Structure 1
Amino acid sequence: MGRVFRSLDDPEFNRFFSEFRFTAYRLESLQRYDVSYEKAEFDLFLAGRQRGEFPGIAQWISETVKPARGAGKLLHRVHVVEEPLSDYVRFECAWAYTHTVPAGEDVRLIPVSSGSWPEGLPHYDYWLFDSSILITMHYQEDGLFEAAEIVKDPEKIVEANYWRDMAVSQSIPFADFYEKRNGIF
């Protein structure tokens, strides 16, 4: 077991997002993330408001996405999304990805029917930095963050690289997903 982070605000955890040299990749598997900094915006979205970008996403863009892209680094993620989309995924698409993608984050989706899963991909989240630093993300069933753990096992790191390549090859760019739905979430 490697270093465990109990907070997404942990400076040591966040250091990985500024110090990676080439690539930062995220596999997202949940259909809902219960993140406190999104609560007010998520409630507005559910109420039918068309507000758009919110402070947490603006900060992600200014502190992570733009500096990474400006330095020629690749920041990308693949989110496996079940259709019909959950309210949270619709919110994430409409209020987050529509802002992070134009800022330079490569967001890709693997749409699957409800209850199915892409063969060969894990059903949990992780970050992979520079193909060599693996951090598994642990959540409660309701999407509440529990911990992030650095994994040192070389076999697990190689496996995460394989899963990344598999997920990217099975995914579609967010822009294509958005266009197919005429921007309606």
Structure 2
Amino acid sequence: MADLLPFTEVAHLFQDFEHTAWRLESQQGYASDRESPKWTRWKAGQDLLAEPADEWRLNVAKQVALGKRFERVRVVDAPPTEGQRFLLASGLGNVAAGEDIRNLDRLTAARLRLPVEDFWLFDSRLVVRFAFTEAGEMRGVTTTEAPEDVLRACQIRDAAWHHAVRTAEYQSRVPSDA
């Protein structure tokens, strides 16, 4: 694997992209979520949608107001893992800010031969791949503009997006005790 960069090295892309920031999210859970105060509030039964906008949501709203798109497909197990249930709950605030989050069951993702990796695709020209430990801790990211990597990311995006279901609809299908 190429040398890993700290995520902070690519954070500017979330403001600097021209038209679309798209993510495939395929982990069963993320250490950063489990270590956050939001996780604790969610575990206590608090409504995460009622929380004030955080830095991510403020930026999403700002970029969307400029005509840009934030889109994401989350691959979800059946039943969803605890980490995925957290993402379903916390993602509603991102959707309210203007991010289009859709969900795709893992069996469909496997049938489509989607990779089990997380990445952002910026403007259909730059891929930022995440590297995680087995425990879901982010080790860093790699970036590429290699045409074959960008083409593959675009193909993954198109397949995932076509089969994914909007968050509100997906949540209505997931039993509340899942």
TM-score range, shorter chain: 0.7 to 0.9
The secondary structure found in structure 1 opposite 2:48 is coil
Who is 2:102 aligned against? 108
Who is 1:61 aligned against? 57
Deviation at 1:150, TM superposition (A): 0.6
**5 Å matches for 1:26-41?**
26-35=23-32, 38-41=35-38
Structure 1: unaligned runs, 5 residues or longer: none
Of the candidates 94, 97, 100, which is equivalent to residue 91 of structure 2? 97
Distance in 1 (CA, whole Å) between partners of 2:2 and 2:31 is 25
Who is 1:20 aligned against? 17
- Cα distance, 1:156–1:77 mapped onto 2, change above 3 Å: same
The secondary structure found in structure 2 opposite 1:49 is coil
Structure 2: unaligned runs, 5 residues or longer: none
Of all paired residues, the percent bearing the same amino acid is 28
Question: Which TM-score applies when normalising by structure 1?
Answer: 0.85
1:88 aligns with 2:83: yes
* Contact 2:125/2:145 (<8 A) preserved: no
Of the candidates 96, 117, 134, which is equivalent to residue 124 of structure 1? 117
| 1:30 maps to amino acid | Q
Distance in 2 (CA, whole Å) between partners of 1:183 and 1:61 is 25
The secondary structure found in structure 2 opposite 1:146 is strand
* Contact 1:2/1:152 (<8 A) preserved: no
- Cα distance, 1:112–1:36 mapped onto 2, change above 3 Å: closer
| 1:122 maps to amino acid | P
Who is 1:78 aligned against? 73
Deviation at 1:184, TM superposition (A): 6.6
* Contact 1:42/1:88 (<8 A) preserved: no
The secondary structure found in structure 2 opposite 1:14 is coil
| 1:13 maps to amino acid | V
How many pairs were matched up? 177
